[in-house]
Amino acid sequence: MVGIAYPTDKMMDFIEQELSRLQDTGLYRQLSFIDSPQEPRVKINGKETILLCSNNYLGLANHPKVKEAAISAIEKYGFGSGASRLVSGNMEPHRGLEERLAKFKGSEAALVFNSGYHANIGIISALIGRGDVVFSDKLNHASIVDACILSRAEIKRYPHKDMNVLEGLLKKHISHLTPHTSLIITDGIFSMDGDIAPLKELSELSERYGCMLMIDDAHATGVLGANGKGTPEHFGIDNPNIIQMGTLGKGLGCFGAYAAGSKKLIDYLINKARSFIYTTSLPPSVCAASIVAIDIVENEPQIRQDLWNRVKFFREGIKKAGIDIMNSETQIIPIFIGKADKAVRISKDLLDKGIFVQAIRPPTVPEGTSRLRITLMANHSLDDLKYAIDTIRQAVTTCR
């Protein structure tokens, strides 16, 4: 009997061919399993390695005070919240975290989302829609890109940090621009390049042309600024009209995200942000842990200074070795490689030598700009960083 090729068979053939293509081009991805907490050294397949690709910048993910807060909240509230915030999942730790975030960010109010992806999709699609215009940096995070597409607004992408082109686009659309039909959106720290958005210029342009301005401060929260409050504090900008978004799972070592701004903005998002309305809320233990993490950021500034000391040490060492770190200014330090398959080979070689760092390839970064993405933590030892610098230099030089 002759077999029939059902649609599911064709689908599996396509999947198999696409996976094969990804493997051939160095774009195939696999999960690495870590059998230990997020610390400067972790165990992978039973082998201890130096972790250089975690966003746990301040080392708070395994901090005793953060763990204690989570455990205490579980004992009091249980684990799951049971429902969305607008149904029955709105618990005291959620309100406590939002009040703490508003105080930390210097805003009237704040709203907690379940992740940075949830926050960007919810905020952006609530603020703009069909017939509106959004101006987005070409190197913005994928969640911003997806949110802009889902909003159905007209998307104008400007070259990375190019304020002249952005102003040209604003002038071109000036007849259409009003504060409720146009939005400029940017990362604070760009997650793959490690450079910082020109927020002063962006703030001035938004005011001049009457646009909303939103900043994704995911990688800056807890890290940038004299008190770790992010990009606006770093530049000394006090513009209450900036819509601030950030995450709790990077510098703060916890999980979730937030929007910070005026009370009216937060009330609006509660009623219009679909990713907030239709999602079971964060476990109360996560909120309790995040509150303590913010306390640590504010009360223990030496942790942040420890991070920047290590950033300076590593950057100077790796540049002295003649390695291209692109335009990094922060704790995110890319090692430019170029070809995807070459970046993968170097990453595997480094893992064999006890250094865990991921190869970042398209579509995460543009074609021809594959790299190793180094991220530093406040509690990395200088000896481990020196070993990493020497080993990375050897691996990159050998693979040229």
- Reading the chain (400 residues) residue by residue, the pLDDT tens digits are 455 555 667 888 888 888 898 888 888 888 888 888 899 999 998 899 999 999 999 999 999 999 999 999 999 999 999 999 999 999 999 999 999 999 999 999 999 999 999 999 999 999 999 999 999 999 999 999 999 999 999 999 999 999 999 999 999 887 666 667 899 999 999 999 999 999 999 999 999 998 999 999 999 999 999 999 999 999 999 888 899 999 999 999 999 999 999 999 999 999 999 999 999 999 999 999 999 999 999 999 999 999 999 999 999 999 999 999 999 999 999 999 999 999 999 999 999 999 999 999 999 999 999 999 999 999 999 999 999 999 999 999 887 6
Of 94, 161, 250, 380, the catalytic one is 250
Q: Are 242 and 203 in contact (CB under 8 A)?
A: yes
88 a catalytic residue: no
Nearest to 206 by CA among 221, 235, 234, 186: 186
CA distance 245 to 218: 7
Q: What is the pTM of this model?
A: 0.91
Amino acid at 228: G
Of 118, 156, 161, 219, the catalytic one is 219
Q: Are 199 and 235 in contact (CB under 8 A)?
A: yes
CA distance 191 to 255: 17
Q: How many other CB atoms are there within 10 angstroms of residue 349's CB atom?
A: 17
Q: How many other CB atoms are there within 10 angstroms of residue 346's CB atom?
A: 22
Of 81, 115, 191, 328, the catalytic one is 191
172 a catalytic residue: no
DSSP classification of residue 362: T
3-state secondary structure of 347: helix
Residue 185's alpha-carbon distances to 160, 207, 248, 390, in angstroms, are: 12, 14, 20, 38
Quote the tokens at residue 292.
Answer: 């303590």
191 a catalytic residue: yes
pLDDT at 1: 47
pLDDT at 173: 84
Which residue segments constitute the domains of the chain, with CATH numbers given?
A: 28-57+301-398 (3.90.1150.10), 64-299 (3.40.640.10)
